[in-house]
Amino acid sequence: MKLLTPVLNQQKVLAIRRNHAVEHATINILSKQFPAKSISGYSDVNGFWLIGKIPAESVRQAVDEAIQRLGSGENSLAFHPNCGTNFVVMGSAAALASWIGMLGTGKKWSDKLDRLPLMMVFSTLALIFTQPVAHAVQAQITTAPSLGQYSLLRIEDVSRGDMQAYRVFTTTV
């Protein structure tokens, strides 16, 4: 981890990680208010996007609350079980497990098909055992719940047709 610290603390990378933490916290807050709604997000250096049919005022309140609660040390809000980080880590492990399961098979389809049950077991075990790894990657690498001097600049409604979305602009030092 020490090798990654200089990269993770570069200004732009740290801004993305902080925005990612606030994005997750905002989604966690909104998901409690609107449990039947699907909400997703995407973070970048300038802030984050929220996609979901949520009232604008609720988005503003949730972002403000997310910043306040993370600033008060409620770091668990920065993590989300449906984060893309989790899917990438767990999917990569499942793919690697499947590849390992195929080692030594012949070139015939029947040889490969015979290995399918083994690959299913390996992939399932990989998904189970990499859950804590995925959470650790999210906690240590892709989010930074310690916000420093972080503030909300503005929120723009960027909805198009039936797709409702918001662009949240932030600044961090």
Yes or no: say if 141 and 125 are a contact pair by the CB < 8 Å rule.
Answer: no
Taking residues 85-103, report their average pLDDT.
95
pLDDT digits (tens, 9 = 90+) for 21-33: 999 999 999 999 9
Q: What is the pLDDT at residue 22?
A: 98
Average pLDDT of the chain is: 94
List the single range of 21-25, 27-31, 75-79, 111-115 with lowest mean pLDDT: 111-115
Domain ranges of the chain: 5-79+144-172, 84-139
pLDDT bin (cut points 50, 70, 90) of residue 19 is: very high
The confidence score (pLDDT) of residue 47 equals: 98
Q: What is the CATH number of domain 5-79+144-172?
A: 3.30.980.10
**SS3 category, 43:** strand
